[in-house]
Amino acid sequence: MVKQSTTQEILIVTGMSGAGRSTVANALEDLGWYVVDNLPLAMLKTLADMADRSGGALPRIVAVVDVRGGDLFEDIQSTVESLRESAEVRVVFLDATDDILVRRYEAVRRPHPLQHSAGSLLDGIRLERERLQELRASSDVVIDTSRYNPHELSTATRELFTDEDTPGLQLSVQSFGYKYGTPTDVDLIADMRFLPNPFWETDLRALTGVDAEVKEFVMSRDGATEFLEHYVAALEPMFAGFQRENKRHVSLAVGCTGGKHRSVAMARELADRLAALPGVSVSLRHRDLGRE
């Protein structure tokens, strides 16, 4: 695991064609990096200057750079040295064995970028390797992707570039009222209509699930605490599995009739419990609160 700094960080991702640049870029984007794919090397300094003027809005940048050209090694070296005057810069080189690269290109039935000029797929790979050997030797991080499938490479990238403060799973919790429609953009829904409705309590009707009196009423009903404890216990291994499978975003909804009392109180309790799980970052909103 790489500990991130507070200064602007730039990763230049390059390497052999077919070694997994797009997979690595997608994994880094999921971690919150600002990714620019196929960036011309001449534009890298311009991008860094723009990020510097953004006032911290783009603290971490990934530039995926194709450097097959023969003269580009000197260009990238001078660019890196210039950028290092104001930012932390690392060059990440992705590699794989010739036979693995051949197998990958044959699987997708696409030509290697240098195949036409070199004469064959293997000759194109060897020509590219020859051109990039000096850059590979000088790179800060070299990742041999030969033993990885795309899923495993994505996982390895997250492990390498995730810092201690980056959540493994971003969880969105929302309350809602069934009478306004069931959310269509959520992964899981919990129905709180098995609990007595505070609406029928005269002193609670005007209050909401945010109020302590309603929370106490809802959570003291038979089955409320049992549901909460068992639901969290069921979600914990599920969320751990989602993180292992690189599912980064999960949305969970809690519903009641009007989205004012039971669902709001339970969503708040649920969000608090789930936020305590390792690697989980929770956001909470009440979709229909105040709608009546």
Residue 177 host element (H or E): strand 169-177
The pTM (predicted TM-score) of the whole model is 0.60
* 96 residue type, one letter: A
- Residue 69 has what pLDDT? 52
pLDDT over 90 percentage in the chain: 48
| 23 touches 148 (CB < 8 A) | no
111: region left, alpha or beta (phi > 0 left; psi from -120 to 50 alpha): beta
pLDDT at position 67 is 66
**Local structure of 49: helix, strand or coil:** helix
Enter the DSSP assignment of 200. G
> What's the confidence (pLDDT) of residue 244?
78
243: helix, strand or coil? helix
d(CA 198, CA 26): 46
Could you tell me which of 222, 197, 216 has the C-alpha nearest to residue 269?
216
Provide the residue type at 182 as one letter. T
pLDDT tens-digit profile of 166-225?
557 889 999 999 999 998 878 999 999 999 999 999 999 999 999 999 999 999 999 999
- Cα four-point dihedral sign 74, 80, 81, 82: positive
Q: What angle do CA 138, 144, 150 make, to 5 degrees?
A: 130
- DSSP E strands, 114-154: 141-144
AA letter at 141: V
Place of tokens 């500990």: 3
- Tens-digit pLDDT profile for residues 118-159: 789 999 999 999 888 888 888 888 999 998 899 889 888 887
In the predicted model, what is the mean pLDDT of the chain?
87
Q: Is 162 strand, coil or helix?
A: coil
- Answer yes or no: are the C-beta atoms of 151 and 142 closer than 8 Å: no
Please check the confidence at residue 32 and state whether its pLDDT lies above 70: yes
Please tell me the distance from the alpha carbon of residue 133 to that of residue 179, in angstroms, as a whole number.
64
Which among 46, 54, 141 is positioned nearest to 94, based on CA atoms? 141
Residue 81: count of CB within 10 angstroms of its CB: 10
Spatial neighbors of 244 by CB under 8 A, at least 6 apart, are 155
pLDDT for the residue numbered 56: 67
pLDDT, tens digit, 9 for 90 and up, residues 34-43: 899 888 777 8
- Which tokens in the block code for residue 218? 């809802």
Which domains are assigned to the chain?
A: 9-161 (3.40.50.300), 169-286 (no CATH)
For the residues 261-285, what does the mean pLDDT come to? 93
Residue type, 242: F
Element (H, E) at 74: helix 72-83
